[in-house]
Amino acid sequence: MSGPESAKLPHGPDIAGSIFTVDGPDLVLGGVSVRSIVAEVGTPAFLYDGAVMRRSYRALAGALGGFADIHYSVKANPARQVIALFVSEGAGIEIASIGEYRAALGAGALPERILFAGPGKRRNELQEVIATGIGEIHVESHEEIERIEAFAASLAWRVKISLRINPMAEAQAGAMRMGGKPTAFGFCEEDLEPVFTQLSQCHQLDLVGVHIYGGTQILDAAALLNQWRHGIRIAGDIATRLGRPLDSIDLGGGLGIPYYAGETPLDLAAVKAGLPELSSLLKSDPNLSRARIVVEPGRFLAGPGGIYVAEVNSVKAVRGTSFVVTDGGMHHHLAASGNLGQIIKRDFPIVAPARMDETDLHPMTIVGPLCTPLDTLARSAQLPGLKAGDLVAVLQSGAYGPTASPGNFLSHPAAVEVLVEGGKFAVI
């Protein structure tokens, strides 16, 4: 849809039309209608459009244009086929557990293209990645450094580490906020002397870089560039204190996607336009000029390509509010229910994927089957008059879906996950 009509669309249909194809009443993913996919696989289902995920990757890679290497952050969506898709596009991988490491290897990632971050890496996890092979371990505690050194010494191997830094100031949209929040991630920027002292006594560790990750769900290009600029400054300071060049600087993930009414996609052209300035900042410092820059997005790459489809079980009018009870809910999609860290609960984009051509829409509250009012997928979604057997689809659901949700709560079955590509689909 285009022109003045589309300007009036509620945000669900608007986002659906900008990412996927709409053919008459049907939302179509990868050449197949949602209706026909779920007729075969059932509901609730997460459907992933491989072409859309590839498009997200290529758009970002195109905008970065060699400024930075992309490592896909596996926690966003650890399905093996999804990881494999990004690996085939050329992505490296960022993992934060041994489970994610094994998933990445299973998907065909090369060990040397995997980065391991996370605040509480266990001894067995460190041992397995070192023995099998790992690109860099991003160390976050003194104990971790000690464990890596001990195990590397027992093998007489060298291990590449990078320091995860907990910044003193946080880069905000236009300014810097002093007194970074206390978090468990990384070493405090203002308290690195003990780390340098410890490292000077480690003989198996090569300190190759720094890792600075500021924030998530950033939709403003200027804010993202500001965060990256801040990361480069911190890296420069640390290299000066070390008195030698860095091989890698990891600027983190956090690239956002629009979820709520009024949000607009991250402007990749504006990101691209800001990169020459950052490149010259890097070039002007001999300690940084040869460093490989890494970004590690998850949500941005996997989110737009996925939808969560549920079937309407019953509809009831309760004191003036229409409640639509579906077979899907927060046990599969905690983020859509507003219970995954959101401060204000707003509606994810949501559509009726087999009734896309209808224009007579009404506000509805979409709930799941769990016995708790927390199990609400939308509070006032504009949808056609739904009845039992109709479908609803939550968009922007390819990241932080099933594995970021309390799947065991109330013991309902897991959602099926399906990858659609080139007119074919398969349960994954």
Write out the residues near ligand PLP by the rule CB under 6 A: 73, 75-76, 94, 96, 117, 213, 216, 252-255, 296-300
Shortest Cβ 164–ligand PLP spacing (Å) = 8
Are the C-beta atoms of 161 and 137 separated by less than 8 Å?
yes
Tokens of 167: 């910044």
Query: Tokens 């560790």 identify what position?
Result: 205
Strands (E), 345-410: 350-351, 362-367, 376-383, 391-394
In what order do the strands lie in the sheet containing 21-23?
Answer: 21-23, 26-29, 32-33
Spatial separation of the C-alpha atoms in residues 60 and 208, rounded to whole Å: 25
For ligand PLP, the closer of residues 210 and 354 by Cβ is 210
At residue 393, φ and ψ (nearest 5 deg) are -130, 125
Which CB, 85 or 366, lies closer to ligand PLP? 85
- Closer of 213 and 425 to ligand PLP (Cβ): 213
Residue nearest to ligand PLP (CB): 253
Cβ proximity to ligand PLP, 216 vs 313, nearer residue: 216
Instruction: State the nearest-atom distance from the C-beta of 298 to ligand PLP, in Å.
Output: 3
Min separation Cβ 383 and ligand PLP, Å: 28
d(Cα 330, Cα 166) in Å, to the nearest integer? 32
Q: How far apart are CA 383 and CA 310, in angstroms?
A: 14
94 vs 417, which CB is nearer to ligand PLP? 94
CB of 139 or CB of 356, closer to ligand PLP: 139
Q: Smallest distance from the beta carbon of 137 to ligand PLP, in angstroms?
A: 12
E strand map for 134-217: 136-139, 159-166, 169-171, 176-178, 187-188, 205-212
Q: Which residues pair with 90 in a beta bridge?
A: none
If you ran DSSP here, which 8-state letter would residue 312 be given? E
In order of 57, 63, 64, the CA distances from 268 in angstroms are 12, 6, 9
Both tokens of residue 386? 């739904």
Note whether 128 and 101 are within 8 A (CB). Answer: yes
CB atoms near residue 316 (< 10 Å): 9
**Nearest of 338, 262, 269, 254 to residue 301 by alpha carbon:** 254
Identity of the residue, 117 or 352, whose beta carbon is nearer to ligand PLP in the bound complex: 117
- To ligand PLP, the closest distance from the beta carbon of 121 in angstroms equals 12
Report in angstroms how near the CB of residue 255 gets to ligand PLP at its nearest.
6
**Least distance from C-beta 299 to ligand PLP, angstroms?**
4
> Residue 324 region, left (φ>0) first, then alpha (ψ -120 to 50), else beta?
beta
**What minimum distance in Å lies between the beta carbon of 364 and ligand PLP?**
29
Q: Which is nearer to ligand PLP, 204 or 248 (CB)?
A: 248
Tell me the two tokens of residue 203. Answer: 């003989």
Nearer CB in complex with ligand PLP: 18/216: 216
